[in-house]
Amino acid sequence: MYPLFLALVCSLALSAPDSVVVDNPVHRFGKVDKAGPSELSCTFVLKNLASSARTISYAVPGCSCSSVSWEPSQISAGGEAGVTVTYRREAFAGRFDKSVAVYFEGFETPIKLRITGEYVDSEASLKAEFPFRLGPFGFKTPYVKDGPVYPGVSRSGHIEVANLSSEQVVPRFVSLDGKLSVYPDFKKVAPFSRFKLRYSFLPDSLEWGLCRVPVLVSAGEAVSPDTLLFRAATVPDFRTMPKDEKAAGSYYKFASTDIRFATIHGSQAAEGEFHFTNISDSELKILSARADRDGAKVTFDTSVAPGVRSSVRVNVPSSSLTAGDNVISVFLVTDSPLKPYIVLTLRGVKNE
């Protein structure tokens, strides 16, 4: 008799508190504008129908994007408590379905709550997410960047593009270089919606460093297309080289990879010098050094002996700078198996 009674008590302790009820354990936010709040909250009301108090011991959200709080912890007989669930929009928010488990003292099985909804695009949210515009199309950056890439090895990928117009458009993207193929994944794109622009790039085995390929962008049969730049950098492929051979190769260290140029005015050029040292026992060869601005000049020593200090000098004409803050990237390619490339950053302000 006693073992049976003990088993019954343990069974009750492990079951869910069916005396605590929730009118609706699922809250549906429905469709939420991405331009709206980044956090969504709702409160579930838990009612204690028992003749004694029930105490919330803890609650577990289903993911780190959700948090939960409650008040009060102890629900008196016939009383209520509010459990508030807050969802923080994730980076690639779309549909979401999140759960929360609420545990009570003396009960092992929790009461489960859910929140569901869907973040959707709108004119405002798309314009904020795709701020760079070419005709009716919006882009997240003013150019397409990929790399590093290896000579003779094809690289494929995609970027998201938005139709920021109020009309359906037919996207046309035409590469001006045979190394690059581009094609949208839809022939027609609805107003204020997004699509993917897919690309395939086969780098030139004879050209090291930064490569910029122009792509003509238009909607339908537009006579005057805009130009989108595709950027990639070709570097030596040391991926299959044995570790001991890599360690025996050249290596270098820059004093700083991010420097500022003095504030310039009018037609002044932006100038900067990056200092580095060959810290290996092998001769270092610099294969290429190119900046991402038209007309920029980058000068350097093509070979640097072991232990010798050298520099990369950058000169960017005023015509390639914009008023205000400027950030210029210099892509340096070397024969170092451990560090075949490095990106140097020159930044500063131009006043008109």
Task: Give the pLDDT confidence score for residue 59 in this predicted structure.
Answer: 95
Domain edges within the chain: 2-120, 124-234, 243-351
Instruction: Confirm whether 124-234 and 243-351 share one CATH topology.
Output: yes
Task: Give the pLDDT confidence score for residue 159 in this predicted structure.
Answer: 94
Query: CA–CA separation, 258 vs 316, rounded Å?
Result: 16
Tokens coding 102: 């609420």
Task: Give the pLDDT confidence score for residue 338 in this predicted structure.
Answer: 96
Let me know if domain 2-120 sits in CATH 2.60.40.10.
Answer: yes
- Kindly give the confidence (pLDDT) of every residue in the chain, 352 residues in length, as a single tens digit, with 9 standing for 90 and above: 444 444 444 444 445 567 899 989 999 999 999 888 889 999 999 999 999 999 999 999 999 999 999 999 999 999 999 999 999 988 777 899 999 999 999 998 999 999 999 999 999 999 999 999 999 999 999 888 887 899 889 999 999 999 999 999 999 999 999 889 999 988 899 999 999 999 999 987 668 988 889 999 988 765 567 899 998 989 999 999 999 999 999 999 999 999 999 999 989 999 999 999 999 999 999 999 999 998 999 999 999 999 999 999 999 999 999 999 999 999 999 999 999 999 999 999 999 7
Task: Give the pLDDT confidence score for residue 8 in this predicted structure.
Answer: 41
CATH code for the structural domain at 124-234: 2.60.40.10
What is the fold of 243-351?
Answer: Immunoglobulin-like (2.60.40)
Q: Please indicate, yes or no, whether the overall pTM of this predicted structure exceeds 0.85.
A: no
